[in-house]
Amino acid sequence: MALALILMVTGVMWARHPVRPLNEFDQIFYLGIADDLVDHDRFTDGFEFAKPGPDGLRPRGMRFAPLYPELVAAAAGFDGALRAGMACVVAGAGRDQACPRAAPSMRWLQFGELAGFFWLIWWMGGAAAGPAIAWGALTLALFTTTLLLGSVNYLMTEMTCLILVTTAIAAAIRAIGTNGRNQLAWCFLAGVLTALTALTRPAFLYLIPLAVLAVPIWGRTRALMPMAAYAGGAALTLAPWLTRNTIVFGRTALTYGYDSHTLVQRIAFDTMNRREYGLAFLCWLPDGRAFGRALDGPHLCDRFGYDEQPTSFYVLGLRHMLPQTLAAAGGYDHHLSYLLHNYILRMPLKHLLVSIPLALRGAYVAHWWGFCLLIPAVIWTCVAVRSSFSTVPGLSASFLILALPPWFMLAFNALVAVNQVRYNLVLIPLYAVAGALSLRWLAARLTPTVRPNVTTPSLFCSRGGTILLEGGNSTAPSH
């Protein structure tokens, strides 16, 4: 029934959602690499970052993670419409506005990923706190459909990354409800899926040590074997790509060059003064530019946008600081260390402070939807953390597994990248479940004849979060 509701809502809205050209935004990166894979069976950096060599072919590269371009190339092998559009984009170097827009195989695949993502939210809500929370979380999550359909229609990594990391979280939640070999198998699968996420967007690589380090921090020594299974699954999945890069380039890394390219854009925001720092909290609200126009004219927030305003921090980082720091560092080999030592470590406190409004910018998923659910998600996470240190943690472990990865990624993206909502779509399951828990708590308080089955969501409640999810179960709701 949940899947039927998901398909009905998303299908109706998808039919009305516009299809944009294939040469918009970062699509050209992945289409360029996929074209080289189809034509020459060679993984390159694409036409945007690499020129043909003496043999007329672009050299092998490792600037981008491999999974999504490989997926596009596989789809283009049997999808003639996608192949034609991809060839046109490459031939015109991404500037031909008349290229075909059709890419049915990838868009249908990504629509299926969207449906699977919403179903997983329903399942995780039930696994954490019972059927009522499952349906409440799904209902809230469906309000993000319009936002996510943009990721369905664009040939970019967001939708594939989102389904992989959400499935990894669901597998980890499933693991805590089992024992023995079944638990190890679920942990191994969670590790594989996290690694596949990293092979789609490399920033998610850092979730692997986070998961491993969480064991001794929480004192769950009995989980050492499951974590070993998790780490083993991740390592085996990453090994082929790391081995390829070691052999071909002498670098045991997921990517090369794109990390410092991204970081220098982030460092540009550290140049803001005190007035601009205050404005960042306003201009990065869901309707921040409108507020800025109302307060002080149309250009108050120009420095904080992504558009090519000559005075924006984004342009400062991409057009000015990038070439300057590359020249000073002597190329990409030493670029990352140069940025760390000469910028971040020279003013670490300011870098951390600027990361706060950048984190909020990425946290406002689906505009006011995310703005309204941010505080409930923080409160329930804090209660679950407190509960985890009690002697009767109940089902808080499920909620923590759901909560910690998106919070970590939000902070990480704010520290190292020009953070934006599309980097933080993994917050949606957390927000949806936290919102459903809050609605149930509110309903219990407004209905005195019904005994509430959740505690006050406060860090100062007398019994903590030990019965935070009382009444839930460790399995998904029935179909």
pLDDT tens string 340-361: 999 999 999 999 999 999 999 9
Instruction: Give the CB-side neighbour count of residue 89, counting CA atoms within 13 A.
Output: 31
pLDDT digits (tens, 9 = 90+) for 229-243: 999 999 999 999 999
- Residue 165 sits in which domain range? 2-90+104-251+364-443
What pLDDT score was predicted for residue 227?
Answer: 87
Strand partners, 44: 60
Q: With respect to residue 205, please indicate whether it lies within any of the assigned structural domains.
A: yes
Q: Judge if 311 and 421 occupy the same domain.
A: no
What pLDDT score was predicted for residue 388?
Answer: 66
Using CA atoms, how far apart are residues 130 and 133, in angstroms rounded to an integer? 6
Three-state DSSP state, 53: coil
- Last residue of one domain, picked from the residues 282, 307, 331: 331
CA angle 307, 310, 312 (to 5 degrees): 60
Three-state DSSP state, 335: helix
The pLDDT of residue 475 is above 90: no
Using CA atoms, how far apart are residues 150 and 14, in angstroms rounded to an integer? 9
pLDDT, average across residues 70-84: 95
Q: With respect to residue 475, please indicate whether it lies within any of the assigned structural domains.
A: no
Average pLDDT along the chain? 87
Q: Judge if 112 and 170 occupy the same domain.
A: yes
Pair of tokens at residue 474: 């460790």
Question: 466 falls in which pLDDT band (50, 70, 90)?
Answer: very low
Instruction: Give the CB-side neighbour count of residue 32, counting CA atoms within 13 A.
Output: 29
Tell me how far apart the terminal alpha carbons of the chain are, to the nearest angstrom.
6
pTM, to two decimals = 0.90
What pLDDT score was predicted for residue 479?
Answer: 44
Using CA atoms, how far apart are residues 370 and 368, in angstroms rounded to an integer? 5
What pLDDT score was predicted for residue 363?
Answer: 96
Residue type, 215: V
Q: Judge if 61 and 112 occupy the same domain.
A: yes
Domain count, the chain: 2
What pLDDT score was predicted for residue 211?
Answer: 84
Where do the DSSP E strands lie in 265-400?
A: none
Q: Judge if 115 and 139 occupy the same domain.
A: yes
